[in-house]
Structure 1
């Protein structure tokens, strides 16, 4: 759990840098100081709010992509002249719904009517194609950007490079990376980070180092994200000493480690049973100019949970509150998860209540862990209580959790409660397979003819 959070933070940092790429201006302005200039009152210009665009405002209320497409044509038939915001809003909605044929139709309209587009629209589409594993469409769209009267910059180039790496198209990514000179583009630290991360995910340390060396040769400064990728890879491999060497090199070159850097090192130390050193490193962070964050506490709590030291993990939570660190849902989930795994669901439920009293809302994972935790110890009424709260919060358990609760409630003679769960499943169009139904029928019919008849009716209705 904590490793996925580290990866998410690193990806967020990468995404932020991608958005900022090519936005730096190189113009210099000079100012002549004015002495003894009399002060004059200037009227503050009140910025008027932008007028809402009728079509865009109405489109936001529509969730069905087909309906959105029909709505677009209805506006057109009424004489409404669609402009870039209209087209972009519709394309975003269609892409999120993976209605890509309609997306291409709308892109055709944009070309026919010579609508000038912004590059950010194509960047978003390339990302959507990448998530849908439609890599060839992403490549085609990238090469067509200029045909939409739109300037193609390093930002879209980096986006496509990431899509190729993410879809395991390393050969294409390498060809693209080697051809940046032909396109009149100069790769930046983000470009190199994407390639380095890709090779590391593939487990190829030597190739990642080759790209890193090329980065230095081209006078491109490595970022904290670059070093975090290298340190994280070494720590996951258990080579903490080498990771410390990279850390020292990072500091010597004037790069300031962040909380993620320290968390990666701490995770590496924990993996080789050096918990005390990891904890010491966290408390040394402040002296090195980096304030500890929740992610650092999360590393320690995860390691304590893995080693079954739940009470120490609870003490760490108390220590966080004492130091005025407000735990977030991830921290609470770590503790609840290990409490439930140890068969201590009742204690987990207390933490579950405490987090809400403290103003931290549970997420879907919190509810699922609690429901599964109660099922594990056979407390199906407790599981049902969590399920009710979960449904009110508009979250939904896994199918396995539904099955476990139904089976447990039937065995306990709680027929009405089992029927309630079946009804909730029906609302969400969740179905039990035949093998599960057979098991439920057997459990319900043992010594209870009435229950057997009721389950028979439910099978027929279901």
Structure 2
């Protein structure tokens, strides 16, 4: 709109300069009193600026030759390369348009186009005139500043939004992400704590913002802060969605907080939120680790009804939990289901089945299963499988089978531990073969393995029953000497 500049005021503007006229005719902007922040600190808070007590007096306002378009008017624009434009500094604009809606639309376009300098020019000019953008324009400006690494200016814009009650959940989401990127998770979490304890603004925290904080907590593997966010979410009467509970369950499970993971899942069921496959897999492991095999099996059956295919880890955890609790038939049914879905049993799977049979005192079946593993999947054989098989041999006194397993362990190149020799000696004791037990003991000593007290007692009992008193005497001499040396060494350390 064209305007006729015929009044004395207009001629006065032309004579003294537009900037000086604004400095003398309008009071200082409230925005210039906004806090300044130190980007190098680990704090999201800003430092208050010192403002003159006579700032509302037009006559006492100091003259400024140029008002820069930086957020803080007293800062040097050219210290920030973002505002450099050759040798010209950015100045406040004369706004012929005074409609906040139209100005907000213009600010929105500039921010979305990433024209940072023009956007901040327009915003500073609006603020100087006491005009306020609409919330969506504020958020667009925040996003623009954060994309270009201007966290200090974004924080000051955010403080203005708070003072005008223009903030929304999206505003907090944007500023928290900016703080995380520039200053780290701890600074962002402190800001979040202030937000959720603020009675005025805490209702603006929505499900999306809570999920973002839970994601950040999981990334930092901090289950305590995850629990804090979860409790605050419940205090705000905000019901989570499938993403919320997946984050909670997986975070607690990764930190071995099985009780909290189960609590989160039960709350999910209470709110009738449909869990995804990852949540169900995680909660199966949590139930299994917590010894609640029946709940784990219930969740597993739910996955089967949904025609989902759990991974091998889930099957192994469930089989192991069922086996430890004496549910052998259920463990083998889960194993059959595992094979029908095309999964290949691992060493952990076979060991869980062997342990299940031993817990149920089905030692013969355990040895037959071990032979099947030897013939069909010898690559799965490992130290745990061998030792579990030796335990089954000991229970039934199958000393010949125990010797075969021991020689196979040595031939395979495994580092045979002391416990394996001890179990073979115990098997010979149960099978009433003292001479064989003595030979295993001598071979053990030759391999530079030191037997423990239980092994020596088992060997001595076996030799006494076999009337091998001379051997018992030699064993006692060696064992008593070692025990005495160990006792004296421990006294020496204590002194």
What interval of TM-score do these two structures reach, taking the shorter chain for normalisation? Answer: 0.3 to 0.5
Q: Which of these two proteins has the greater Rg computed from alpha carbons? A: 2
- TM-score, structure 2 normalization: 0.43
- TM-score, structure 1 normalization: 0.45
